[in-house]
């Protein structure tokens, strides 16, 4: 997959969406505030102007954004762990 340079606000919105989803999924009971935040972030992601550009038109760009954010999150998680 080609590497796309995503706008930083789009990457941050995706990161916030992933974190909110994980937080909501970890709960045993649904929380209205988390669901509302997830909906707002979903709207922000879907309506971002990047998707109207040549680089953003491909469905693969959306997949690439999610993969980029996941790899960043994994890198940060592994970076925080210190060997004994």
Structural domain contains residue 56: yes
Which residues, in sequence order, are CB contacts of 72 under 8 Å at separation 6+?
11, 15
pLDDT score, position 3: 59
Model confidence pLDDT, tens digit, residues 27-59: 877 789 999 999 999 999 999 999 999 999 999
Question: Residue 44's domain spans which residues?
Answer: 13-75
pLDDT band with cut points at 50, 70 and 90 for residue 61: very high
In this prediction, residue 76 carries a pLDDT of 80
The answer to whether residue 8 is domain-embedded is: no
Is 43 inside a domain boundary?
yes
Domain assignment of residue 6, yes or no:
no
Does a structural domain hold residue 83? Answer: no
Residue 48 maps to a domain: yes
Indicate the pTM of the whole model.
0.81
Instruction: Tally the domains of the chain.
Output: 1
Of 37, 81, 41, which Cα lies nearest the Cα of 65?
Answer: 41
């Amino acid at each position: 997959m080609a590497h796309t340079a995503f706008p930083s606000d789009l990457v941050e919105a995706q990161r916030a969406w992933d974190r909110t989803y994980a937080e909501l999924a970890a709960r045993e009971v649904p929380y209205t505030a988390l669901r509302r935040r997830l909906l707002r972030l979903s709207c922000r992601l879907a309506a971002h102007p990047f998707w109207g550009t040549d680089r953003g038109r491909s469905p693969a760009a959306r997949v690439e954004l999610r993969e980029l954010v996941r790899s960043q999150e994994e890198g940060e998680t592994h970076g925080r762990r210190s060997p004994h």
